[in-house]
Every structure is written in C-alpha cells, then in structure tokens.
C-alpha cells in the first residue's frame, strides 16, 4: 500500500515537477513566448524609378521587445557573377583564370543600434549570415582552371567581399537604428536611409532582428520592390521584347543626333566655305610610275583637281608637284607621307 502511494506520488507530483525544472534549465527562454513580436513597417514598400529618379528615402519602423538591440539588414537577390583573376606571370600581372561566384547577395546593407559583435556571438552571426565573413563562408566559388585549394578559394572569397565593399554594395553601419522604450515590455525602433540610387531594379529583402542576451529573440521581414515606371519602363520593355526594332531605333536616333548636331553647328557657326585647293593641298611623293611619267614631261601643266588634290588622271610635272609641296609647307602641311 505504502509502495503504491509512493509510486503515485512519484508519478503525479515529483516527475512533473522535475520536468518543469528540466524545462526551465534546458529552455531558459521559455518566458520568450510572451515576448512581444517584432513588427516592421516599410515606407515606401515600392520605389518607383521614373525618368528623373534620383534615389529615395526609405523608412523602416516597428516594435521590438523592450531592452533588445535592433538590427536591420537589406539584401539583394543573389546572382551568379564572373570575374577575371590576375596573377603574376614572370615580371607582369595578367588575367590567368576566370572565377565564378554563386550565392552571395548582390547587396548587403546592415544597420544596427550598436556594434553587432557586442551583442551577438559568432555562431549566431554565421547562422543568419549577418556579416561579410559569414557571407563569404556560404558562397560557392569555382574557377575555370579547377582550383581546389581551400585556402586559395577562401582568399578569392575575401577578394570578392573587398570588391563589393569598394563598390559600396556591402556596408555595415552601427548606431543608426534608433530604439525607444514605449512601456509594456515594448520598444519602438526607427531607421531612415537614403536608398542607394545606383541600386538596380528588382526585389530586395528587408530583415529586422531583435537581439537580447547574445541571441536573436525575434525577427520580421518584408520585401522592397524597385520598379521602373513610365518612360524607363517603356524603354526597358522595348529593349527586351523587340530587340531588333530597338537596335535599329538606337542607330537611327544616334545618326540623327550626330547629323543634327552637325547641322546645328553649321547653322550657328555659319556655313563654312568649301576648302580651296591652296588651303588643302595634297602634296606627296608620287608613286614611281607617275613620277617617272611626269619626268618624261607632259607639255601643259594640268589643272588642280576640284577637291584640292593633285589631278590623278593626268601625269604630274615634277616641278609642279615640288612647288605645291613647298607651298603646302608654307601654309599648312597635311602631308604625313614618308
């Protein structure tokens, strides 16, 4: 009887109590269930790129658990990229290989309320790909010469990240997200940035992370669309859908522009007189057979060609050619012949 009551006590009282204690030890953030969710309001959600688009202001705001650090990450879609790789060959540096990079985002902008490394550990940063190092570790690198050395591939990854940083596609800015406690265990965060005007049309992912005690306690996300509208949209569609017509149009417009500017220049500058023969002589050593023919002596001096050059259909007297040469040198030499 006593044994039964002991078993019942073990089943109904001790084990559940043990389970609660174990749960509290294993899952210390069981109380996170009551943590207020992270919200994100993106304004605007779509950036329209018209003919005179010059970038845009982008505002991100929302709520996060009180006392948490907030981090906002903007990512562009990942796309495959190809690079030339230089190496030293003898005394010079030349392209020796082609590198194909797959996986990294085309854009990576990270804004936070503090330096991320002060409130997140390396493992978490790697798990969520929250810095360039973790992006580098995730990218796939292939070279056309089949490079396999992990150290060399890692070096190429570093060089890729360096390239992206230099072109401004990868950036990290701390102390940019403003967080204010609003009570009830909640805080309000705001971030306002000038959207980079060199960012190309497409879809971008905005991610917000609330971090506390070295971990991410909540996150939210939204998509930002960059779309061409109006004239740019029309031109982009024409180039895509009617490439031949678009190409012909491009050529015609360029030719018209060229001749149009020329006509305008004539109009504004006044029509120039045709270059007279004396001002634009063509003195040059004649081909041997013509010079020899000239040396043989043609009676009358031939008239100069209308365009200022020497007559071609008739032999040229040597003395005439020399005189023309001398005259040309005195005014303006256009003879570069040897």
Partner 1 sequence: MAKLVLAAVFAFTLPLFLPIAGVSINMGLLASVGMVVGFLSGLLGVGGGFLMTPILMMIGIPPIVAAASDTNAIVATSASGVAAHFRLNNVDFKMGGFCLLGGLFGSAIGVQAVKILRARGNADLLISVMYVVVLGGLGGFMVYNSLVKLRRGVMAPKIRKAGSNVFSTFLARLPFQMDFARSGVRHSVLLPFVLCSMVGIMTALMGVGGGFIMVPAMVYLLRMPAHVAVGTDLFQILFTCIGVTLMQAASNHTVDVVLALMIAAGSTIGAQLGARVSRHMRGEQLLIVLGVLALVVCLKMAVGIALPPSNPLSGAGGHAMLKAADHNAALVCVRDFVRSSLWH
Restricted to residues 79-118, the positions that interact with partner 1 (CB under 8 A) are 82-89, 91-96, 98-99
Q: If binding is defined by CB under 8 A, does position 20 make contact with partner 1?
A: no
Instruction: Give the range of 15-23, 62-70, 72-80, 154-162 binding partner 1 by CB under 8 A.
Output: 154-162
> How many residues belong to the site for partner 1 (CB under 8 A)?
96
Query: Judged by CB under 8 A, which of 57, 261, 278, 319 binds partner 1?
Result: 261
Query: Judged by CB under 8 A, which of 102, 118, 225, 333 binds partner 1?
Result: 333
Min CB(78)–partner 1 separation in Å: 17
Near partner 1 in 171-190, by CB under 8 A? none
Q: Nearer Cβ to partner 1, position 185 or 276? A: 276
Query: Judged by CB under 8 A, which of 2, 25, 26, 288 binds partner 1?
Result: 288
Q: If binding is defined by CB under 8 A, does position 303 make contact with partner 1?
A: no
Q: Nearer Cβ to partner 1, position 123 or 225? A: 225
Contact, 196 vs 55, CB < 8 A? yes
Considering just the CA atoms, what is the radius of gyration of the chain in Å? 38
Contact, 334 vs 282, CB < 8 A? yes
* d(C-alpha 217, C-alpha 64), whole Å: 9
Q: Nearer Cβ to partner 1, position 37 or 55? A: 55
Q: Nearer Cβ to partner 1, position 23 or 326? A: 326
Task: Kindly state the tokens that stand for 310.
Answer: 């020497």
Q: For the chain, where are the E strands, in sequence order? A: 41-43, 46-49, 56-65, 69-76, 81-89, 92-102, 108-112, 140-143, 170-173, 178-183, 186-195, 202-212, 215-228
Q: Show Cβ contacts of residue 57 under 8 Å, excluding neighbours closer than 6 positions.
A: 192, 193, 194, 195
Q: If binding is defined by CB under 8 A, does position 228 make contact with partner 1?
A: yes
Q: If binding is defined by CB under 8 A, does position 297 make contact with partner 1?
A: no
Q: If binding is defined by CB under 8 A, does position 33 make contact with partner 1?
A: no
Contact, 181 vs 66, CB < 8 A? yes
Query: Judged by CB under 8 A, which of 160, 170, 204, 209 binds partner 1?
Result: 160
Q: Nearer Cβ to partner 1, position 42 or 305? A: 305
Query: Judged by CB under 8 A, which of 54, 151, 184, 303 binds partner 1?
Result: 54
* d(C-alpha 77, C-alpha 164), whole Å: 14
Task: Kindly state the tokens that stand for 219.
Answer: 């996150």
Q: Which residues of 81-106 are buried (b: 16+ CB within 10 A; e: fewer)?
A: bebeeeeeeeeeeeeeeebebeebbb
Q: Nearer Cβ to partner 1, position 163 or 298? A: 163
Task: Kindly state the tokens that stand for 241.
Answer: 């859908």
Instruction: Give the range of 119-127, 173-181, 207-215, 224-232 binding partner 1 by CB under 8 A.
Output: 224-232
Query: Judged by CB under 8 A, which of 125, 153, 163, 222 binds partner 1?
Result: 163
DSSP structure string for 118-153: GTS-HHHHHHHT-SHHHHHHH-EEEETT----HHHH
């Amino acid at each position: 009887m006593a044994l039964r009551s002991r078993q019942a006590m073990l089943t109904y009282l001790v084990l559940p109590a043990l389970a609660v204690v174990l749960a509290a030890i294993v899952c210390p953030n069981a109380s996170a269930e009551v943590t207020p969710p992270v919200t994100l309001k993106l304004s605007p959600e779509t950036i329209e790129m018209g003919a005179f688009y010059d970038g845009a202001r982008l505002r991100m705001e929302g709520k996060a658990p009180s006392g948490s650090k907030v981090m906002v990450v903007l990512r562009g879609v990942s796309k495959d990229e190809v690079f030339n790789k230089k190496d030293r060959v003898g005394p010079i540096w030349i392209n020796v290989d082609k590198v194909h990079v797959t996986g990294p985002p085309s854009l990576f902008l990270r804004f936070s309320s503090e330096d991320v490394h002060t409130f997140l550990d390396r493992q978490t940063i790697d798990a969520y790909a929250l810095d360039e190092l973790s992006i580098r570790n995730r990218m796939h690198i292939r070279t056309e010469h089949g490079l396999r050395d992990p150290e060399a591939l890692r070096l190429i990854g570093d060089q890729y990240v360096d390239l992206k940083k230099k072109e401004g596609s990868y950036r990290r800015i701390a102390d940019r997200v403003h967080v204010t406690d609003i009570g009830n265990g909640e805080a309000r965060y705001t971030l306002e940035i000038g959207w980079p005007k060199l960012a190309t049309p497409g879809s971008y992912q905005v991610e917000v992370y609330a971090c506390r005690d070295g971990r991410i306690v909540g996150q939210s996300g939204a998509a930002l669309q960059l779309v061409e509208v109006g004239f740019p949209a029309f031109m982009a569609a024409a180039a895509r859908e009617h490439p031949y017509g678009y190409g012909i149009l491009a050529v015609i417009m360029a030719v018209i522009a060229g001749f149009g500017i020329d006509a305008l220049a004539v109009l504004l500058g006044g029509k120039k007189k045709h270059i007279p023969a004396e001002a634009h002589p063509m003195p040059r050593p004649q081909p041997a057979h013509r010079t020899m023919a000239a040396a043989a002596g043609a009676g009358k001096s031939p008239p100069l060609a209308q365009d200022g050059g020497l007559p071609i259909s008739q032999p040229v007297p040597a003395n005439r050619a020399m005189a023309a040469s001398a005259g040309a040198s005195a005014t303006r030499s256009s003879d570069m012949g040897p």
